[in-house]
Amino acid sequence: MIIAGNWKMFRGPDPHALVGLDAIVCPPYTRLRDCVEAGLTTYAQNVHWEPEGAYTGEISAPMLLELGVTGSLVGHSERRQYFGETDETVAGRTRAALEAGLNVIACVGETLEERERGETDDVLRRQLSVLEPHPNLVLAYEPVWAIGTGRTATPEMAQEAHELIKSLIDAPVLYGGSVKPDNAATLLAQPAVDGALVGGASLDVDSFTAICQAAARIPS
C-alpha cells in the first residue's frame, strides 16, 4: 500500500511528527528541505519538463534531486483546472521526471459533468493515452468532484475506474478524493486500489496517521 499526503498550498504539519510513518509527503516547495531533513520520503507537487531554462516560477527534476527529493506529483486536477496543465504538458513533465530518476505519481480523473455525461471512461483513456508504463510511475485516480468536497467515490466506483486504468497502463493506482480515517479502510480494501493520495486529511497528524494505520492493516 502506498499512502501519499498532498499538502497543497498549506504549511502542513511538523515533519518530525510524521517520522516512522510508512508514507510519502508532498509538501509545498518551501517545505521540501524540512521534510527531507526529517528523513521523510518527500515528493514535490509538480516538476518541469526541462532540466533548466527560462521558465520563471518552475522547478526542474535535477533541482529536486539536488535537495534529496525522490519524486513528484504530476497533473493534479488543480494544476489542470487553474494553471492550464494539459495532457501534453503532463506527459512532458512525467517523461522528464522519470528520465531524471524521480518517481512520479501522475493524476487522472473526470469532472462531475464528465461523469454525468457518461464520459468517465473516455476521459481516463484520453488522459492516459500520453503516458507509458515505467517502473517508477504510479497513477492516482482522483475524480475531480471528490477532491476537497467531502464526497468520496463509492468503493465500487473506485474499483471500476482503477480496473480500467490498470487495463490501459500496468502501474499501481492510488485513489484520491476526500479520503478520511473513516472511509480509508473500505476504499483501500478494493482489490484494484493500491493506496491513497490524501489531501485535507494529511494536514492533521492524527488523521494522516490513522489512514496509514488503516493501510497497514490491509493484507497485501
Catalytic residue numbers? 76, 142
Binding mask 117-156 for ligand PGA (x = CB under 6 A): -------------------------x----xx--------
Is the Cβ of residue 49 or residue 141 nearer to ligand PGA in the bound state? 141
- Alpha-carbon distances, residue 193 vs 134, 141, 159, 175, 176 (angstroms): 18, 9, 7, 6, 10
Binding mask 1-40 for ligand PGA (x = CB under 6 A): -----x----------------------------------
Selected from 75, 143, 177, 181, the binder of ligand PGA by CB under 6 A is 177
Residue 107 φ/ψ, nearest 5 degrees: -100, 140
Is the Cβ of residue 60 or residue 202 nearer to ligand PGA in the bound state? 202
Angle, nearest 10°, between helix axes 181-188 and 205-216?
20
Is the Cβ of residue 107 or residue 171 nearer to ligand PGA in the bound state? 107
CA 149 to mean position of chain CA atoms: 17
Strands (E) located in 109-188: 137-141, 173-176
Grid coordinates in use for 211?
A: 489512514
CB distance 2 to 12 below 8 Å: no
Which spans of this chain sit near ligand PGA (rule: CB under 6 A)? 6, 142, 147-148, 176-179, 197-201
